[in-house]
A and B are shown apart, each in its own frame.
Chain A
């Protein structure tokens, strides 16, 4: 197990290193310099270059770049979004909002998904089963931002107009984070619900047909005990395998959802930074996303290894 974890850690470290190198190369090859202001004289530019170490050889610059990121999480300052604000501070302020939204969607989506799957599997081939299947296909097919737009229009706008009060606010409000995050959470959770429901239903049907459930029933356990203690718990284990795709969907989903609802999160920051070409911010957010993604993958892989020893062996550990 230790060897397996060590191997995964090593690969993650290499990946992160590759990403940092790509980001550094990007900084080098993009046209323009941070100081292309016509008011600056050559002398001043020279001084600025000196100050930020831009006259050093590339290898020294590269080492400095890596050192700043690894030891201090320092990505320099923002050029346009918030002039001269530390990029790391900007990310720190926005990160909790994004994480909170993502976790809300994950929790809400998983719970609803498991409930739907349980109903569908227990009442197989009934109308509930068909409804869940159709709902799951639609939830997987239709992009989250389309759901978001629908929610904004019907629940946010039409309902407010009809009832005269804003039950679901159109945009996110920092001072009312619970109520104003209902719509974004639901929009973001649609994909989670659909994926979990679909996967879990298959698993549950398989578990319900297995011998140990027959045994549990035969020894006279109540229906609720059979379902909660024996069926759902066992069917939940393989659900770990879809955590990866879910993380990815939540990350991309957050970009649009944050834009639609005006939520000041990381995704919103990235979109703004790209549109105004704020390079330091783009690089920092790209690095941050990668870090988060790699950490998530590592976590899932290790979780797998603990749950299912066969995967551990297949991925080269003992």
Chain B
């Protein structure tokens, strides 16, 4: 039997640790949550491209209208329906002021005149009008975020945190409100207040926050049962502290994601209403108004519609990409596989 015993001696073992010193777990460099978010966001190519485009469009919306002498409503009767022409670039075959191979500028004897995006059928400069119109879209984007952040988050927090009868009443109210189509609400405002930026803004204020409040409420309902809130409560934290310091930081990621996704929606809504004639009215410019103008003469002068369509598409695409990137960065669990 003895030979079945394993022969063990000192040399059968190998020291894993070279010293007897006690080792702790490997410590990774600690990165704060927001830094991690930033790193993940930067790794997302689409989102970074989106941010760059938004920054560019924002810059142009602020400074673009001052880059030439025209204002958004100044008309020059001799300069109607000119295609785009940019000094320097005209030599390589784009923005050369040609329609079907004929240089419209030379034909009309306007050798020194340059309209970068061309002019519309009233002789207004499309460069200026496009960037002035972009401002409207950016204003709407900002408004959508503000509404989400204040009304949506506030409503959701109160409804979720207080709970009980208050919650029930507030939720029934939302259910009824969300049963009324946006389209109908805008229509009603348009007939009462006339088409314009005010009726669109008000319609957004009434309906723009419902999705956000639902998300916040469900998050709060989930969070307030968790132990850390209980601990805080036991230690005598007041309601304000609980909401602002315990709940809010934990749902903020969701809030940012939601409000980013509501931006493209709001921009779409404004341009859509302007396009069907229920939004801003000419001579005011918004991207939808310009697209509507261009649409009327699309078969003869297709250049009028190009600039606003490209800017609108880029803006919506960029905001969608950034929203996607933020969602993946803030909430990796939600990331689509």
Contact = CB atoms under 8 A, between A and B. Distances in A.
B184 interface: yes
Nearest to A8: B175
B307 interface: no
Interface stretch (B3-11, B91-99, B310-318): B310-318
Interface string A131-162: 00000011011110110010011000100000
Given A30-B192, A157-B299, A282-B187, A143 B179 contact: no
A49 interface: no
Given A143-B312, A157-B299, A255-B276, A22 B188 contact: yes
B336 interface: yes
Interface in B304-337: 305, 309, 312-313, 316-317, 319-321, 324, 336-337
Contacts of B320: 137, 140-141
Given A137-B320, A282-B187, A293 B181 contact: yes
B272 A256 contact: yes
A277 B101 CA distance: 45
Nearest to B294: A149
Contact of A141 (B172, B175, B317, B336): B317
B71 interface: no
A143 B295 CA distance: 14
Interface in A275-312: 275, 277, 279, 282, 286, 289-290, 293-294, 297
B141 to A, nearest CB: 14
Interface string B254-284: 0000000000100010011001111000000
A206 B333 CA distance: 13
B298 A149 contact: yes
A279 B191 contact: yes
A140 B184 CA distance: 23
A141 B184 contact: no
Interface residues of B, number: 40
A271 B175 contact: no
Contact of B277 (A15, A138, A140, A271): A271
A44 B221 CA distance: 63
A142 B267 CA distance: 11
A66 to B, nearest CB: 17
A251 interface: yes
B316 A141 contact: yes
Contacts of A68: none
B179 A145 contact: no
Interface string A1-43: 0000000000110111011001000100110000000000000
Given A252-B183, A255-B272, 9 more contacts: A15-B180, A18-B176, A26-B192, A137-B46, A138-B317, A141-B319, A259-B276, A277-B191, A290-B180
Interface of A: 11-12, 14-16, 18-19, 22, 26, 29-30, 137-138, 140-143, 145-146, 149, 152-153, 157, 201-202, 205-206, 209, 248, 251-252, 255-256, 259-260, 270-271, 274-275, 277, 279, 282, 286, 289-290, 293-294, 297
21 contacts: A11-B172, A11-B176, A12-B179, A14-B176, A138-B317, A141-B319, A142-B313, A142-B316, A143-B268, A143-B316, A149-B295, A149-B298, A152-B298, A153-B302, A201-B336, A209-B337, A252-B272, A255-B183, A259-B276, A293-B181, A294-B179
